[in-house]
Amino acid sequence: MRITSITARAVDCGFNSQKLQTSRVASPMSRFARFAESRASWMWPTKKVFVRVTGEDGSTGWGCTNGGEIVEMIVNEHLSRLLVGEDPGDLALLNDQMAASLLPNDRSGFAMMAVAGVDIALWDLTAKAAHQPLVEVLGGAESASLPVYMTTPHPEAFSGGPFHGLKAAAPYGPESGEEGLKANVALMRRFTEAAGEGVPIMIDSFLAWDADYTLRFAEAVSDLNVKWIEDPIHPQDFEGLQKVRREMDPSIALALGNFAFSRADCADLLRSGVVGVLQPDVAWAGGITEALRILDTAEAAEVPVILHNTCEQPWALALAAARQSDALVECVDRDETSPLYELMAPRPDLSSGRVATPRDPQGNRPPAFVREAFGPAPKDSKEG
């Protein structure tokens, strides 16, 4: 079977209207007053990018990533012409070809998001052709469900709940001085109270801090059950990260890799010796094919992996279930009406603090408003 078409569409799914975007959350832009009060004021293109791959037998695979119109253009104007006519039987080869074609001029997140969107769609096409759920194509899973930790701006909503950790988004960075630091610490005390005894809390700093500020924060929360600090400083500031790791309480891990967009990026972090938890995003870091390589690299380094934003990505859940032992996955608390939970599969039930291992042989299924953005399906397609 040959690939007959690859098409991407950027679709507004309401990402920039969620509370984590519209409230004060620290970011690399916090030091600029104009952009400090909300991520939505400066965020990169936030439309979700859906990718449809069609085979010559009419079968259809779907992928989804981020990056808006930039990633849409990379897929439609560049990657599609490389892969149309190719046999999707060797997904590693196709992934390598896509990444290599972008290497001379772009190794950014946008480039690897584009690769990821196509790669995820190709895996979906492969699983559907085999009449199996993706988790079986990846080797199968023993567990029927996976434990979930929750990233939320509303810790009290999960007070006494069954989740395996609560994570905050830091509202302030060094630009807010001592008062901002005190507010960050107070937030952690709120999370501690909501989480309850024995439940870890975490904080995502979203590249907004520096090494000294991170150390000051860690010292100020030394009496709390803080499991990790996530992405506190520039991901390539290895000297700063090593200073933090050397001087910070060893019981607090550094969770890194959300902004590592390839196996090479992750390998650099792992070689630095600072990573306590590696957290790549499958839809940003080259897709399922590259994520498999990242998992192997992390296993060799004996560093645990938690795939970023897992519960919105059925393929990430399948990877965690099939390729990780003792996996922990993340759910980001959007809001009750957000469509982001069900862009490729039905909204997961998290009431038990666990999420079901996805086993639907129909694979990725975007909602009607996404399919409508593509217009009519290619002739003779078996779109699903």
Find all residues with CB under 8 Å of 100, minimum gap 6, and list them.
none
Euclidean distance between CA atoms 191 and 195, whole angstroms: 6
The label of the residue with tokens 């600072």 reads 274
Instruction: Give helix then strand counts, H and E, for the chain.
Output: 13, 11
Q: Is 131 a catalytic residue?
A: no
- Both tokens assigned to 243: 């200073």
Euclidean distance between CA atoms 337 and 357, whole angstroms: 23
Distances (CA, A) of 298 to 9, 269, 305: 33, 10, 7
Cβ neighbours of 179 (radius 10 Å): 9
Q: Which residues pair with 62 in a beta bridge?
A: 52
Among candidate residues 327, 325, 306, the one with its CA nearest the CA of residue 258: 306
Element containing residue 181 per DSSP (H, E):
helix 177-195
Residue 210 · residue 174 · CB < 8 Å? yes
Strands annotated E in 159-285: 166-169, 201-204, 226-230, 253-256, 277-278
Residues marked as catalytic: 308
